[in-house]
Amino acid sequence: MLNFVLQGLRAAAEPTRLRLLALCADSELTVTELTEILGQSQPRVSQHLRQLCDTGLLERRQEGTWAFYRMISDGAGRELAQTLLTLLPEKDEALTLDRERLSKVKRARAVEAQRLFAENAPCWDELRKLYVSEREVESALKGVFSNMQVGDFLDIGTGTGRILDLMADQIDRGIGIDLSRAMLAVARVNLQRPGASNCQVRHGDMYKMPFATESFDAVSIHMVLHYSDDPSSVLVEAGRVLRPGGRMAVVDFDRHDLEFLRTEHAHRRLGFTDTEIRDWFRGAGLECETALRLEGEELTVVLWGARRLIDAMDYAGPPLS
């Protein structure tokens, strides 16, 4: 253990590596993004990242042609990294500039995703040919909530409002949030029918939602997580607003290697594994109850159903990633 601490301290005892540690503690980032933030060459940044990973302070996740870096998820490496970060001066000029550039990178991600999302709207039908019919997916989603009384329902990343429209006859009240004001305008039109008058949409950030803790009986996250650069945080925030005993349905792609979905459709993640989703659920105080796989031509859609634990003693703690 002493050797590990000494090696970790040696790895972090360099200005650029400390800055990298701080950045990767905030967000999961690629080499390109880190290079842009630090204003240094890619080979140099890659070398520093390798040293931090080799000593167990950062972890590297390869997904297709991209590699993502973040602070190690747990264990002694995380404890050491967090301790070091508490010692960093809050008003350091270099760190302040890094945070400003990181915010710029995040804004650029969001703008690009929304632009591509809007541009690709006419291509949705073509994309849907890769997986099972929406009707089959929607039927499975409704089934997650069929045996419970849903008073307050939340749809995260509501888009056109389709899930709210689908669930309107099964709930008392429904709210959908989305960052895209253009999509919200479409959703409002779609929800004008008399049977959906119990539903409304509003502008909101899925990482920091404008709702009180434990304010919904049910939550859906339909085809949204693959656009997120921090899915675990989305699930933690969704779990926060879910009442004890409430249910959550997450619909997304199984892990795949269709790289064009990232470059042409702004998918941040190429699907997810059961292990990832179950671990993130556990970290958010949720218990995964179902994982229904719906296989299509080239993509498999998975519906993960989870329940918010009632007994605080069952809570598993902070997110694992």
Lowest mean pLDDT among 36-50, 75-89, 241-255: 75-89
Q: Which residue has the higher pLDDT, 8 or 252?
A: 252
pLDDT of residue 276: 95
Which one-letter DSSP state was computed for residue 197?
T
Q: Which residue has the higher pLDDT, 70 or 153?
A: 153
Q: How many CB atoms lie within 10 A of CB 13?
A: 10
Query: Coil, strand or helix: which one is 150?
Result: strand
In DSSP notation, 239-257 reads HHHEEEEEEEEEEEEBS--
What's the CATH code, domain 2-119?
Answer: 1.10.10.10
DSSP H helical segments within the chain, as ranges?
A: 2-12, 15-26, 31-38, 42-54, 75-86, 93-119, 124-128, 134-144, 162-167, 181-190, 231-241, 260-265, 274-283
Question: Whole-structure pTM over 0.75, yes or no?
Answer: no
Q: Which residues of the chain form CATH 3.40.50.150?
A: 123-314
User: What is the CATH class of 123-314?
Assistant: alpha beta
- Average pLDDT of the chain to the nearest whole number: 88
Q: Do the beta carbons of residue 73 and residue 321 sit within 8 Å?
A: yes
Pairing of strands 216-222, 150-156: parallel
**What number is the average pLDDT over the span 233-247?**
96
pLDDT band at 317 (very low <50, low <70, confident <90, very high): very low
Query: Coil, strand or helix: which one is 214?
Result: coil
Q: Which residues of the chain form CATH 1.10.10.10?
A: 2-119
Structure tokens at 233: 């945080």
CA pseudo-torsion sign 264, 269, 272, 277: negative
pLDDT band at 319 (very low <50, low <70, confident <90, very high): very low
Q: How far apart are CA 62 and CA 31, in angstroms?
A: 12
Place of tokens 């069952």: 314
**What number is the average pLDDT over the span 112-125?**
62
